[in-house]
Amino acid sequence: MKKEISIKKTLIIKILKSFIISLLIFFILEHFGEFNYKEYFWGKYVVYNTLTSNDVYSDNLLLSDIKYPVNGYFETYSEKFPYYFQATIEDILYIFALTIILTLIITFNEKFKFKIN
């Protein structure tokens, strides 16, 4: 005898919404990090220090070629974006944790209503 597991469509929608909200929150938080320009005798590095204590190095970027800042500062947002994106990807465990928490909060609020008199 086979047993059937059913998942409501609303639960999947809640999880997707929570994941998107978590992703946006962490992507916005990554903008508050700090760029450091370091030059060693074997090469140059741009190190991006995030708020979650992750470091993103310029030689490990996913989306673009390595672009070194002029005079230690980036000129455009498009030069900073790969660092923000990489930092968000490296914080994926925090994103999943926040997704679970938000899903539980949304589900709890739909099942129980608080009334203050």
pLDDT in tens, the chain (117 residues): 788 888 889 889 999 999 999 999 999 988 888 887 777 776 677 778 888 767 777 665 655 566 666 566 777 888 788 888 888 888 889 999 999 999 999 888 888 777 787
Query: Is 116 a domain residue?
Result: no
Residue 69 is part of which domain span? 9-111
Q: Strand, coil or helix: what is 34?
A: strand
- Look at the chain and report how many structural domains it folds into: 1
Two tokens at 97? Answer: 């944790």
Q: Are 19 and 27 in contact (CB under 8 A)?
A: no
Strand order in the sheet with 34-40: 34-40, 43-49, 55-57
pLDDT of amino acid 111: 80
Query: Is 2 a domain residue?
Result: no
* Whole-number Å distance between alpha carbons of 103 and 10: 11
Query: Is 101 a domain residue?
Result: yes
pLDDT of amino acid 20: 95
pLDDT of amino acid 74: 74
Residues constituting the chain: 117
